[in-house]
Amino acid sequence: MGLITGLLTLPLAPVRGVVWVADKLRDAAENEIHDPAVLRAQLGALNQELEDGHIGLDEFERQEEMLLDRLYASAPSPPTR
C-alpha cells in the first residue's frame, strides 16, 4: 500500500477494524456451534435440567433433537471406498 493510498483510505480504518472484529467473533461462534465437546456439554446440561424438573419432557426432546442434529452434522463423514 502506497503512501497516498494509505492516506486516502485512513478514514476507513475504523470500519475495517470493526469488520475484522466481527469476522473473528463469527468464526469463534461457528467453531463453538460445531464443536462436539461443547455440544456434548450442552446435552449433559439439558439432561440435568430435565432431571431437576426445570424443563418438561416435550421441551427436553425438542432441544435434544436440535443438539443431536448439530452433533451429527459436525461429525466427520466416514471414508468412502
- Answer yes or no: are the C-beta atoms of 67 and 49 closer than 8 Å: no
Quick one: DSSP state of residue 14?
H
State yes or no: pLDDT of 6 exceeds 80.
no
Helical spans, DSSP H, in 1-75: 3-8, 13-34, 36-52, 57-74
- Answer yes or no: are the C-beta atoms of 35 and 70 closer than 8 Å: no
Domain boundaries, the chain: 21-36+55-73
What mean pLDDT do residues 22-41 have? 88
Cα–Cα separations (whole angstroms), residue 9 to 12, 19, 22, 48: 5, 15, 20, 53
Q: What percent of the chain has pLDDT over 70?
A: 93
